[in-house]
Amino acid sequence: MSRRSTLLIGWTLALLVSAGLARLGLWQSHRAVEKEHLLAQVSQVLAARRALPLSAAADATRTTAYDWAAGHGHFLDAPPLMLDNQQRDGRVGVHAYAAFQPDAGAPLLVDLGWLPMGIDRVLPKITLPRGEQNLRGLLVPPPSAGLRMGAPMARQGGAWLVVRLEPAVVAKELKLATLAPRVLRLDPALPIGYARDLELLVNTLPPDRHRGYAVQWYGLAITMLAIALVLTFRRSRR
């Protein structure tokens, strides 16, 4: 193979790899901007706290939006759901969810908060408040599903162990006609529920971390081009 052909193949590979690395860096940069916009939007909602009715959880035009909501209703007589692999203060546990029927509108899932789970993997037992309840909190999309592998939920004793929250699947398993696409994260000031807050990026990367990864990918792209240049000049001197 001629020197010209070798250089052509080498530079083609270097450019392709560098472009792929730069694309990964660009994706990380975009994710950082998206999450900054999300945090800014939620900060405005929490600062204003202008409450919508709980029926807003079923608004099909706002399935990815964040709204403060409040209203009356009662918890349904249905097994609670335990979302697996949820971290808090460096410990692994579950987030407890329960189906709630507001006075008006479709039922929705309420995030009751975080509970620890031991190495024996036995689900913690929870007690749902009885009777009429006055709830308030932040309406949010369900937690990110990640890789959709295997069944989303499985019955374990008197509760459901859940690896991802899919409202349509949950509604079917709980024998509900429908279930709102957003969930209610309870106001931490309410006296019911378990350890909780309104932080949105607890189990995912914050904007600064995405930017850090973007810099790394861009750096690798530049390094690849620099290596190609060094090898080219070395060959030209021989």
Alpha-carbon gap, residue 138 to 155, rounded angstroms: 28
How far lies 174's CA from each of 63, 108, 234, in Å?
21, 12, 69
Amino acid at 121: R
DSSP state of 193: S
pLDDT in tens, 141-193: 988 755 556 677 888 888 889 888 888 889 999 999 999 999 999 999 999 99
Give domain limits for the chain: 3-34+207-237, 50-186
Query: In the predicted model, what is the mean pLDDT of residues 224-237?
Result: 77
Percent above pLDDT 70 for the chain? 92
Q: Is 51 left (phi over 0), alpha (psi -120 to 50) or beta?
A: beta
pLDDT per residue as tens digits for the range 99-154: 999 998 899 999 999 999 878 888 888 888 889 999 999 999 988 755 556 677 88
3-state helix, strand, coil in the chain (%, to 5): 40, 25, 35
Task: Label residue 194 by pLDDT band (50, 70, 90).
Answer: very high
What was the pLDDT predicted at 48?
Answer: 85
Give the predicted TM-score (pTM) of the model. Answer: 0.75
Specify the pLDDT at position 202: 56
For the chain, what's the residue count?
238
